[in-house]
Structure formats: structure tokens, C-alpha cells
Amino acid sequence: MTFKLLTRYVPILQWGRTYDRQAFSGDLLAAVIVTIMLIPQSLAYALLAGLPPEAGLYASIAPIILYAIFGTSRALAVGPVAVVSLMTAAAIGNVAEQGSMGYMVAALTLAGLSGVMLLGLGLLRLGFLANFLSHPVIAGFITASGILIAASQIKHVLGVGADGGTLPELLFSLAVHLGETNPITLAIGVGAVAFLFWVRKGLKPLLLSLGLAPRLAEMLTKAGPVAAVMVSTALVWALGLDSAGVKIVGAVPQGLPPLTLPSFSPDLIRLLLLPALLISIIGFVESISVAQTLAAKKRQRIDPDQELIGLGAANIAASFTGGYPVTGGFARSVVNFDAGAETAAAGAFTAIGLAIAALALTPLIYYLPVATLSATIIVAVLSLVDFSILRRSWSYSKPDFMAVAATILFTLGMGVEVGVSAGVVLSVGLHLFRTSRPHIAEVGLVPGTQHFRNINRHKVLTDPGLLTIRIDESLYFANARFLEDYIYDRVVSGCPIRDVVLMCSAINEIDLSALESLEAINHRLLEMGITLHLSEVKGPVMDGLKKTHFLDALSGEVFLSQYDAWVRLTRQEARAEAV
Amino acid sequence: MTFKLLTRYVPILQWGRTYDRQAFSGDLLAAVIVTIMLIPQSLAYALLAGLPPEAGLYASIAPIILYAIFGTSRALAVGPVAVVSLMTAAAIGNVAEQGSMGYMVAALTLAGLSGVMLLGLGLLRLGFLANFLSHPVIAGFITASGILIAASQIKHVLGVGADGGTLPELLFSLAVHLGETNPITLAIGVGAVAFLFWVRKGLKPLLLSLGLAPRLAEMLTKAGPVAAVMVSTALVWALGLDSAGVKIVGAVPQGLPPLTLPSFSPDLIRLLLLPALLISIIGFVESISVAQTLAAKKRQRIDPDQELIGLGAANIAASFTGGYPVTGGFARSVVNFDAGAETAAAGAFTAIGLAIAALALTPLIYYLPVATLSATIIVAVLSLVDFSILRRSWSYSKPDFMAVAATILFTLGMGVEVGVSAGVVLSVGLHLFRTSRPHIAEVGLVPGTQHFRNINRHKVLTDPGLLTIRIDESLYFANARFLEDYIYDRVVSGCPIRDVVLMCSAINEIDLSALESLEAINHRLLEMGITLHLSEVKGPVMDGLKKTHFLDALSGEVFLSQYDAWVRLTRQEARAEAV
């Protein structure tokens, strides 16, 4: 029993017991491939977050190991990702100067806060909170973030200084500094972008036509960034381009991740609370989407609450080992999965690979031009940009379209934090708005049947003395008054109505506000000499009503079916017509 | 056509044309009675708002006339009310010192802002926003506000200085100053409270037993506060109690409401935006509840959006005539209605009565002790305090109980603005939480019928190869992933399932997120060799799905009824058993 509980919270105890040689060889191969892919990616994302390059490596070592222990996905690869890196830059850019000691401490603190929040949400089993990010809002946010990220990297390709957290700011700043463009940097940057795009689009078909196995061709394609890094580094070193103004990565400390401490300053924590929450939720949503996609392919199971715990532990680890906020990345996880990772041990082996890189390989990237790293970022994030969500949401659901359009506009125009908040608030608001004005149909009997349909859509029988209303929504506070208004309006302006029947087949719940509205409706109709009835009330709803005095006070009856109500309440002549 | 549009926005044009002598006499009598009741009430509520007494009179004159022109209720009486006065004090207490010129300007600005918001909401037809205040939250807020208001008035009954916007602050401050109690003030205050309680409870039966007509007895009871005001004023004047430390109202300017201007300072407006919104919504909810109750008694109709326009105009009038935020009051409206008001002209006559009072009667209240005004407030608001909502919500719905308990605790402990915000956020959050984890039932066939019921509650027939799931909620972003998790969980851990049927009879809507989840479910089940079907999809939902490629991609079929699905998908032997 205790062990079962323990394995729930520490999944490694489950798969670790059956770990065998076959899994080991799969995991090891995957780790080698992911490590090669992650070295340039980690450096690049650290740059995007405004941090020194080694922070990207550090953020990929300890967090991976912690996730391997506590996470439930077998293939998820945890580390820096593009969107979270951008959000990190936006959050800590507000509280500290980039390059300062305070900036790095703020990054650690942000990771720590985010870790504690994720852990807390997981332990409280509040993973469902992430559901309030609707799919269209996520799609719009990712697309807009991709554009923002690409725009933020153009300065490195041009070799100029430019700044801003929104698209207009970035474009304005780039326009101002355009004259300072360094031509050699531009050549390296554009060359790297062109090369990487070609690798994505053209290399795999070429390799396949040369007779390589598809899987090998796929793997070689993923090594494109490494090739770009190696070639451009060699070029800068051989031609001494750094003295011609090409910005290089420079000296990166050699060694394992350091032991660091986040800040416990209440002021700093207060400033970072909201960004940390947004980063946690966005990171969690990205991670869980990837994890579920991969798990489903092997009919494995992801526990969202345990995922929160795993990501929380990973972020806390990042904050104590010189990293910054991390999450499960899409690209790296897919590569890990495709390369044959069987268990989370593949992550641990990747961590070892990266630790070796941090220990031994950093002198090799001294001459790596920053423009090359920016090129890898630009090519990676532009693949995230996909405006088709606008078209799809427009054709299917206008409220979804409004939410996604607002998310994109606010993200581009006012930054990532405002953008994602606006998307959530608007989509929740529009949902509430729709349910606050539910579809209400006046129904009548379809001749020759026991079915009741909308009088406006079908030829049905009605009785002027009987008003039957079907409400296509659960009744709760937001639509309780709407129902009252509807009924009062209908009986005031209407014909000589004697009986009102509420057909409750689509009502899944009646909350206290709605109950009080029903009581008020019953009371006022009674004052007008009209009797109120209910029909087709669901079991759980009826159980609730039975706990109250409503059924005693109800002037009419509760009919099992609407047809029963019709038979009892219509005049003889109307019934005769119906048969 | 133009005239019809005009009468919609200016309802006076409708009833004004048929105004006759009978309506006039009813309106006039009601106006006299309401005026007598309003004089002490207006002074007292101004005190509660921290404003000079005449502000209460001014706030009852121009706003009433504007409401009479634009409002749709025939009996609503607009002016200062207790809860809004308290909220006004809380809002402007944060931005200016009580008694300063800035305080009065802030009150005018708050009224102006609130007026513009109400008007805007009305013109945009956004009256439904008020629906997000659930009944329990309103009940809890009114109860907690009543306690706060009564506590805030104790200092005047004791004759001490004490301050605070929350119950702990008020009680602590009172405890500190208790030693400074002025005994004569205390005697007047306690005497007035006792007298007014007796008037409420004991006077009417006494008058009835003396043979007075019930309606007259009722009216005389409402004049209780006027009697308390007259007697205590006479006492203070005759005995010179003001020199013994009894605080009196003092000099009140004699004259019609002055022409005033709200502030247009952006800083002040920014600070008052949120309070103005809360005051607008709370005021609107109070007003519309009263208006609808009274209108229903005469089978009249209230237009919520036009009510917003009427209240908006009233508040703008208040901001230009020395008033502060106003709304339709419960007590005064009921008295107006009971006294026979036929049209909104009664309000206009009341305004004339109050204008005469402001012109001529203010010297008479020079010696009016503040303790008497506080006594009228205490007795009035304690009738609002009703904790039964806690019991009712506990027994009917725990989420409603949580929302009401939070509203009461936060209002008492952290003030009115935090309280009402917490109530709204919590009730919306809990509603979303509930719909994000909808009731999902696995159903089977009730033997001998075509009905399908929950396999956990009923003896039903099932087929190990067929999983049928009924979702009792519309599918939208907040529960889309829940459904995915549920289905993946069920098919992974389950028996040899070949077909999954989603029974959609309780689904009123499928948004884009849910559609994408259904696509993902369809895709993943297909990968597992399982076919996905739908049954009993509602017409509007089906219309939406037809606009997409989902139905083409769906691995299975859409069945008109669940029984059709059963017949088609179960094995022969299972069907034989069923028949």
C-alpha cells in the first residue's frame, strides 16, 4: 500500500524495476542523438532568455534528471524551450538589467517560483487549471510568440543593438539601428538561416535519393544546427572575423553546473509571481501536449497531476543549478521518441552527455558567432507559426475566432504576458456569455408522435393555453435571470396562457441561484393565475430539488415525459387533433 | 418608427401620453409619503458615505427626475442606498481625506464614472454582466455589508472617533476609544435604536388594535425615523445638549442642489475605475431586483438594458448636482409602490418635495444629533442581515456555500470591494471547475427497452467490445482534455474494446477546442484499432460539425439514436440476450 503510493509519486520506482538491456540500448542511442541536438539549442535559448550561454546547458542537466525520477512520460525531454525562454526574458527584463548579476538571480528565482507553483498545483491535483487555456488560444499564442521570437533575433543576424518586448517596439528599434548593420555578421546569419531552411526542406529528400535509410536521413537532418555551428565557428576562427566586429559567444566557464541559490526577497518574489504563474501554465500545457501525444502512440498513460510534480521538481532543480525555467520541449521530445527512447533513463543519459559537454567542449565554442545561434532560433520558431487557426476558428466558431485573434494581437502588440492573459480572460468570458444566454425553444408536439420540437422550425401542434419551453443549457447564476426575463416577457405579451411547462431534458445542473429563480418564477406565475410544471427532469437534478421545498411549493406537477404533460394539460379538442 | 425607437430609449414618452388625473392623485400621495421618509434617510446615508448631510438630499433630487425620464420601472425610487453609500466611503476613503474638498470631488467623480459605465453597459446591451453575481453571493454580500455598516455607526452612538473599512479594524478601533464614550450621546443613540426597533416590531400591531386601517398603520410605521429625528432634535435644542458634547448635524446650506463638476484628472479616474465598476454592478443588481419584483406584481415589464440607461443618467445627474452614487433603493421603492405610485411621475413629485426640504427645512435640523441618524441606519441595515443563506446553500449546493461563505468572510475581513470581487471570482471559478469535470456515465441497455442508463446505477446489458459513454455537459475547452483523459484511461486499462460510442444527448455545444479533442480521440482510437461513433447529436451541434472535416475523418458513424448504435455494433449473442 505504502509502496503503491510511493510509486505513484515517484514513477521511476515502477519502470526502474523492470529495466533491461534492450531498454538500455534504446535509451543510450536516443540520448546520444538528443545530446548532439541539444548543445546548440540550449546555447541559443539561453541567448533568447538574455542569459549567458552556459545557463542553457545547466538548465538541461539537473532538471532532466529530476524529471526522470518524478515524471510519468517515458519520452519527454525537459529543458529550455523557445516560448518559455521568451517569457523569461520578458518577465525578468522588467525587474533587472540584462547581463547584471540581478538578472541571473531573477532567472533562478523565476525558475524556483515556477517550480514551487507547479509542485503545489500537482500535489493539490489542480492540473485541470491548464484546461482554461483553450486550444485556439494556445495556437494563437504559439504563433504570435514565434513571430516575436524571430523578430527579437533579427538584431543578432544584423549585428546591431535593438530592444523591445512587443513587435512594434522591436521593428521600430531595428529600423533605427538598421544603418549600423555589420555586413560580415549579416552574411553569416543569412547564410546560416538559408542553410538551416534547406536542411529542413531539402536535405532529407536528397539523402533518401542517395539511398540512406529513412531513419538515418531523419537523424542527420536534426544535426543541421550542429553543422552550422561547426562551420561558422571554424570560419570565424580561421579568418579572425571577431576582430571585424562579428559578435562571438566568447569564454564560457568550463565545469559542471554550479550550486546556486534563488533570491528570497519578498519584493522580487511579488514582482515575479504573475509571470511565474503564466510561465508555469504555458510550460505545463506545452509539456503535457507533447507527453500525451507520444504516450498515446505506445498506449501509455500520462498522469497530468504527476506531470506537474515532475516539472515542478525539474524547475526547482534548475533554480539551484544555474538554470532558468524549463519544460518539456516539443522538438527534443519527438527526436528522443523517434530515436528509440524507451524510458526516462534516456533523459538521464542525455544529462550525462550535456554534463560532459559543459565540462569539456565549451572552449570549442569560443568563436561561435551569435548570429548562428540566432539563425537556429529563427528557423526553429518559424516552424511554429501557423495562422490557419484563424481560418479554422472563423469558419467553425466566431467566439473562438475572437479569442484567438485577441491572443495574437495582444501578444504581438503588448507582449507575451498580456497576450496569454487576454486570451484566457476572453475565452472564459465568451463561454460564460454564451451560457448566460442559452438557447431556449418553445416546443410543440410533432403530429402522430410523442416528440416535441421547436415551433419555429417544425410544423407542430400547440395549445394557446399551454406554453412549453425547452432550455438547452444547465441553469446556473449567469443564466437564471435570463430565464426569468424570458418567461415574464412571454407571459406578459402573450395569449391567455394557463400552464407553463419547463422541459428539462438538457439541464444537467440547477444551482442555488437558478433554484431561487425557479421559485420566483413559480411564485409570480401563481400571482398571475398561471401554473408552472416541469418535465423530463434528470435524476441527479431531481435528487437536488428533493432536498428543497421547491417541489412542495411548485404550483403544478413534475411530469416524467413531456408527452405526459401534453396529455394532461391540453384541452380535449387539441388532443383530438393530435391523434 | 423613429418615435418607437425614441420611446424605447425615453420611456416617459410612452406613459406620459396617457397620464390622467387618477394616476396623478396616486403619484402625489406616494410622493408625499416617500418625501417624509426620505429626508432623514438621505441625511443618514450621506453620513455613512462620509459626506455632508446635504449631499444625501442633493443625490435624491436630480437623479430621481432623470430616472423618471429614462427608467422603465413605474415604482422604483432612486437615491442614496446603504450598501452603495458604504462602498462610496470605502472607495473614496482610499484617495482623499474625509471632510476635505478632494473627498467631495472624488464622490462626484465616482458618481460620474459609475453613470458613464452604466450608460455604456446599457447602450451596448451588456446588462447580462450583472448575472455573474450569483444570488448567494449577493445575499452574502448584503448580509456582510449590513454588519459592516452597523459596526461603522456604533462610533456615532457612542460619540467617539473610530475608523476602519473592515470589521476587525472597526472593532479594534472602537475598543481603543471605548473609554471616551459620551454618555448623553449614548443615551440618545440607544434610545433612538430602541424606539426604531419598537416602531418596526410593535407599533403596527398597536395601531391596528387601536382600529386604524392597515394601510394607514403601515404608513405611520414608516414615519418612525421622522419622529425620532423630531424628538431628539427638540431635546438637544431645548436642553442645550450640543454644549455637553453631543455631536449635531449643524449648519446645512439652504438652497437647491448646486451645479458641480466631477474631476477629469486621469490619475483620480484610474484609481476610481474598479470601485466605480463594482458600485455600478452592485447598484444595478439591487435596483433591478426591486424593479422586477414590483413590476411583476402589476404584470409590467422591466427592460434591464434600459434600466442601465436610466440609472446611468441618474448617476451622471448626481455628479453634476452635488450628489454621489445612487441606485434604486429597496425600502423607498416598496413604500412608493405601496403608497400607490402609478408612474415615474411620483418620483418627480418626490424630487420637488425634497427640493422644498433643501430650500426651507435645513435650518430645522441644525440641532439634529448625529447619533439619531446613525440609529436609523443601524435599524435599517440590520434588517438586511440574514445568515439563512449559509444554511440553505450548505444543504443544497456546496459550491454555492463556498462562494457565499467566502463573500461574507472577505467582506467582513477585507472590505466591500475585496468581498464582492472574491465572491464573483469564486462562483465563476467553481462553476467552471464543475463543468470542467463533467458527469460522464458509462451506459448500457435497460433490458426489454430502448433506453440506456448508467451501468453503475442500473442493471443493464453491456457488450465487452462496445464502450458507450454519455457526457452530461456541453463540450468546451475546459473539459475537452478531461474527456480525452477519460477515454484514453478507459481504453488503455480496459477490456477488448472494438467500438466507442459517445452519446451526445446532453451536449448543447462543441467548441473548437472540444472539436480538436474529438479529432484527437478519433485519431488515437483509430491507431489503436478502435472505431469511434457518435449518437443522438442535437441539430445545432450537428450543423456545426457538418461545417468541418470531422465527420469525414470519423472512423465510425453518427447514429440517430443510441439504440440504433447498439443494434448495429453489438454481437449477435448480446442482442439476443437483450430481446
Q: Using alpha carbons, list the distances in angstroms from residue A175 to A109, A181, A311, A574.
A: 34, 11, 40, 78
Count of Cβ atoms closer than 10 Å to residue A440 Cβ: 18
Contact yes or no for B356/B226 (Cβ under 8 A): no
Report the gap between the CA of A134 and the closest CA in chain B (Å): 5
Contact yes or no for B89/B82 (Cβ under 8 A): no
The whole-number pLDDT of residue B106 equals: 93
Chain B residues touching A131 at Cβ < 8 A: 436, 477-482
Interval A428-480: pLDDT, tens: 888 888 888 888 888 888 887 777 888 887 788 888 889 999 888 889 988 88
Report the gap between the CA of B391 and the closest CA in chain A (Å): 12
- Residue ranges per structural domain of chain A: 26-404, 440-578
Angle between helices B266-297 and B304-320 (to 10 degrees): 130
Report the gap between the CA of B118 and the closest CA in chain A (Å): 18
Is residue A532 pLDDT above 90, yes or no? Answer: yes
Contact yes or no for B484/B500 (Cβ under 8 A): no
| CA pair distance A117, A121, nearest whole angstrom | 6
| CA pair distance B290, A220, nearest whole angstrom | 74
Report residue A560 CA to chain centroid gap: 44
| CA pair distance B58, B55, nearest whole angstrom | 5
Q: Best residue in B425, B509, B511 to probe A by mutation, most A CBs within 10 Å?
A: B511
Predicted confidence band of residue B579 (pLDDT cuts 50, 70, 90): very low
> By mean pLDDT, which of A54-63, B336-345, B390-399, B430-439 is the weakest?
B336-345
For the question of an ipTM over 0.85, the answer is no
Chain A residues touching B476 at Cβ < 8 A: 134, 431
Is residue A164 pLDDT above 60, yes or no? Answer: yes
Contact yes or no for B15/B74 (Cβ under 8 A): yes
Average pLDDT over residues A135-149: 88
Q: Do residue A508 and residue B439 have CB atoms under 8 angstroms apart?
A: yes
Q: Best residue in A508, A525, A546 to probe B by mutation, most B CBs within 10 Å?
A: A508
- A127: number of CA atoms within 13 Å, CB side? 23
Residue of B nearest to A457 (CA): B539
B440-578 homologous superfamily? STAS domain (3.30.750.24)
Q: Do residue A299 and residue B392 have CB atoms under 8 angstroms apart?
A: no
Q: Which of B170, B66, B488 is nearest to A301 (CA)?
A: B488
Interval A90-105: pLDDT, tens: 899 888 888 788 899 9
The whole-number pLDDT of residue A292 equals: 77
| CA pair distance B344, B330, nearest whole angstrom | 16
As a residue count, chain A comes to 579
Contact yes or no for A335/A218 (Cβ under 8 A): no
Question: What region, left, alpha or beta, does residue B80 occupy, with left being phi > 0 and alpha being psi -120 to 50 degrees?
Answer: beta
**In terms of DSSP H, where are the helices of A298-344?**
304-320, 330-338
From the list B135, B296, B544, which residue is nearest A477 (CB)? Answer: B135
Interval B427-459: pLDDT, tens: 888 888 888 888 888 888 888 777 788 888 788
Q: Using alpha carbons, list the distances in angstroms from residue B321 to A332, B109, B135, B255, B292.
A: 67, 12, 34, 12, 28
Report residue A50 CA to chain centroid gap: 23
Q: What is the enclosing helix (H) or strand (E) of A452?
A: strand A452-454
Q: Classify residue A44 as exposed, middle or buried by CB count within 10 Å of its CB (0-12, 13-18, 19+).
A: buried
- In three state form, how does the secondary structure of B46-101 look? HHHCCCCHHHHHHCCCHHHHHHHHHCCCCCCCEECCHHHHHHHHHHHHCCCCCCCH
Interval A234-271: pLDDT, tens: 999 999 888 888 898 888 888 888 888 888 888 888 88
Q: Do residue A477 and residue B431 have CB atoms under 8 angstroms apart?
A: yes
Report the gap between the CA of A397 and the closest CA in chain B (Å): 7
Q: Which of B146, B115, B158 is nearest to B245 (CA)?
A: B158
The whole-number pLDDT of residue A579 equals: 47
> By mean pLDDT, which of A328-337, A397-406, B409-418 is the weakest?
A328-337
Average pLDDT over residues A154-165: 85
Chain A residues touching B512 at Cβ < 8 A: 134-136, 392-393, 396-397, 400
Q: Classify residue A456 as exposed, middle or buried by CB count within 10 Å of its CB (0-12, 13-18, 19+).
A: exposed
The whole-number pLDDT of residue B436 equals: 85
Interval A533-553: pLDDT, tens: 999 888 888 988 998 889 999
Share of chain B above pLDDT 70, in %: 97
Q: Do residue B427 and residue A477 have CB atoms under 8 angstroms apart?
A: yes
Count of Cβ atoms closer than 10 Å to residue B366 Cβ: 15
Q: Using alpha carbons, list the distances in angstroms from residue B406 to A511, B281, B419, B421, B436.
A: 17, 19, 8, 10, 21
| CA pair distance B277, A474, nearest whole angstrom | 28
What is the DSSP code (8-state) at residue A303?
-
The whole-number pLDDT of residue A2 equals: 65
The whole-number pLDDT of residue B449 equals: 75
**Average confidence score pLDDT of chain B:** 86
Residue pairs spanning A and B at CB distance below 8 A = 165
Q: Using alpha carbons, list the distances in angstroms from residue A307 to A73, A135, A302, B450.
A: 8, 19, 7, 42
- The contacts of residue B246 (CB under 8 Å, 6+ apart) are B159, B182, B184, B185, B188, B236, B369, B371
Chain A residues touching B297 at Cβ < 8 A: 527
> By mean pLDDT, which of A479-488, B1-10, B104-113 is the weakest?
B1-10
Interval A343-372: pLDDT, tens: 888 888 899 999 988 888 888 888 999 899
| CA pair distance B113, B120, nearest whole angstrom | 10
**Average confidence score pLDDT of chain A:** 86
Q: Do residue A508 and residue B397 have CB atoms under 8 angstroms apart?
A: no
- B155: which 3 cell numbers? 462610533
Is residue A573 pLDDT above 70, yes or no? Answer: no
Share of chain A above pLDDT 90, in %: 29
